[in-house]
Amino acid sequence: MSRHLRPLNPRQLEAFRAVMLTGSMTGAGRLLSISQPAVTRLIRDLEADLRLTLFLRDGAQISPTAEARELYREVARHFVSTERIREAAMAIRQYNAGRIRVASILALSSSCMPNAVDAFARTYPEMVVSVHSGASVDIIDLVVNGSVDVGFVAMPPGRNDLAAEPLPASEVVCLMPRNHPLARREVITPADLDGQDFVALGSSSLMRLELNALLQLSNAQPRIRVESLFSSTVAAYVDRGLGMAVVDPLAASVADPARTVARSFRPAIRYELSVVYPPHTNRPPPLQDFVNFFSEAYARELEATRALVARA
């Protein structure tokens, strides 16, 4: 018959983890604020309970056995889960005490987001805004699982597992160095890009895919010099004269107007962002106010880009 297994003592696991992290009983004692003999006793009790030899002793020196290393992988996962629970509880306390958690694509993090946060902070000086930046697909996952309260993203087709509201639509623009021969034109077409030095968005970008389709129809092939995942980085490369680019209007707004010009691009490629919320959740007034501040900042950015293009 199998022997009855009693639950493991969490303190024993803490001691084992501390010994593995520090490499000694004495170091583990300092980490746990207990004496070295107390650590030794906890380890011996754990070995007895598990019927495993976890450490080889050579005087004051110890070395973990292969069994200890294998066990440590499981114990480490346990403590990661425990820490996540602790962090989640802290986040709940902070949210209830006055915190909103927002996430946006990188293109917004250096343009609209600081302005929205500034306006919100002036209205709600006691509240904390936790801001996360990333790719749309990652932000949507954070929103769906409730890790953030609101996200500002390029909404992929087919997602119906969250609440979404569209922001005002715009169009992509063409950036180029101010001294570029095509800078004299008011409108740039796919055919104009043929043979030109070009800074491209990453191959998985929806905007890149739409542009590629137009280039193929025009039998145009730009000479790609640089690829970047983020449109703001693309604008920085254009600033440095590395080529032309077709980017979202937000990237155009952060380009250096002393070195770079923005022109209309035709046929138009629409640029659409959405505000996304976790499904079936309430939206407290501070959160809705933040979204309003953001929407106002976004509208100003789009208007600034239209003004840049109009100066052609």
CATH, residue 127: 3.40.190.10
- The residue from 57, 91, 125 where one domain ends is 91
Q: What is the mean pLDDT of residues 3-29?
A: 83
pLDDT value for 5: 56
Buried b or exposed e, range 214-234, using 16+ CB within 10 angstroms: bbeeeebebeeebbbebbbbb
**What pTM did the predictor assign?**
0.63
Same domain, 261 and 191: yes
Measure the CA–CA gap between 299 and 223, rounded to whole angstroms. Answer: 34
Q: Looking at the structure, do residues 174 and 256 belong to the same domain, yes or no?
A: yes
Residues 145 and 177 grouped into a single domain: no
Q: Are residues 255 and 197 in the same domain?
A: yes
Residue 184 burial by Cβ neighbours in a 10 Å radius (0-12, 13-18, 19+): exposed
Question: Does 163 lie in the same domain as 178?
Answer: no
Query: Is 5 part of a structural domain of the chain?
Result: no
- List the single range of 82-96, 160-174, 206-220 with lowest mean pLDDT: 82-96
Indicate the number of domains in the chain: 3
Query: Is the domain of 194 the same as that of 262?
Result: yes
| Tokens (6 digits) for 3 | 């022997």
Among 91, 107, 128, give the residue marking a domain's end.
Answer: 91
Q: What is the DSSP string of 192-237?
A: GGTT-EEEEE-TT-HHHHHHHHHHHHTT---EEEEEES-HHHHHHH
Greater confidence, 226 or 137?
Answer: 226
- Return the percentage of the chain with pLDDT > 90, whole number: 51
60 and 39 in a common domain: yes
Question: Where residue 148 falls among pLDDT bands split at 50, 70, 90?
Answer: very high
pLDDT of residue 194 exceeding 90? yes
- Among residues 199, 88, 192, the alpha carbon closest in space to that of 146 is found at 88
Residue 2 lies in a domain: no
Q: Are strands 197-201 and 223-228 parallel, antiparallel or unpaired?
A: parallel
First to last CA, the chain: 87
Q: What is the mean pLDDT of the chain?
A: 87
- The verdict on 19 and 79 lying in the same domain is yes
Residue 10 has pLDDT above 80, yes or no: yes
* Final residue before a domain boundary, out of 91, 123, 153: 91
Say whether the peptide bond before residue 267 is cis (omega within 30 degrees of 0): yes
Question: Domain containing 57 — which CATH number?
Answer: 1.10.10.10
pLDDT band, very low/low/confident/very high, at 185 (cuts 50, 70, 90): very high
β-pairing, 55-58 with 61-64? antiparallel
Q: How far is CA 267 from CA 67, 123, 172, 187, 257, in A?
A: 65, 42, 10, 10, 24
11-25, 51-65, 89-103, 253-267: which has the minimum mean pLDDT?
Answer: 89-103
The partner residues of 62 in beta bridges, in order of sequence, read 57
Domain extent, residue 109, equals 99-169+272-310
User: How far is 69 from 75, CA to CA, in rounded Å?
Assistant: 10
Task: Specify whether 109 is located in the same domain as 223.
Answer: no
Q: Based on the domain organization, do 216 and 132 belong to the same domain?
A: no
Please indicate, yes or no, whether residues 42 and 126 belong to a single structural domain of this protein. no
Same domain, yes or no: 256 and 208: yes
